[in-house]
Amino acid sequence: MEQRDRTLLEAKASVLKALGHPTRLWLAEQLADGEKCVCQLAESIDADISTVSKHLAILRIAGVVSVEKRGKQVYYRIKVPCILQYMPCIEAVIRAQAQEQIACLN
């Protein structure tokens, strides 16, 4: 494998790893509807702002979200909206796996 290919694969894995945590995936899905303040997101999942901010920082470092500070409020938004277009495919994999498991019971 060439170094360029390896570097690209590592970058892809970094994005997938950032989205691989249930809370971070939920945050990304919430931001698909538009930008939100950290305080709104924290309130929605009943979590500390610091915890939500840490998850959002991981998404920012991976390039999934962008951030803008307005006064004391910090707003996040999806940087590249197409990132969540893979979700129907993931759900199709889950359905197929469930059907295979059900078939084993019959």
Q: What is the pLDDT of residues 50-77, one digit of tens each?
A: 999 999 999 999 999 999 999 999 999 9
Residues in the chain, pLDDT under 70: none
How many H-runs (helices) and E-runs (strands) does the chain carry? 5, 3
The reported pLDDT for the residue numbered 81 is 87
DSSP state of 35: -
* Domains parsed from the chain with CATH numbers: 3-80 (1.10.10.10)
Helix (H) or strand (E) holding 73: strand 73-78
Residue 17 carries which side chain, given as an amino acid letter? K
pTM of the model as a whole: 0.86
Residue 46 has what pLDDT?
85
| pLDDT recorded at residue 1 | 84
Q: 73-78 and 65-70 as β-strands: parallel, antiparallel, unpaired?
A: antiparallel
Residue 9 tokens read as 């694969």
Q: What is the pLDDT of residue 16?
A: 94
Axis crossing angle, helix 49-61 with helix 38-45, rounded to the nearest 10: 120
pLDDT at position 74, please?
92
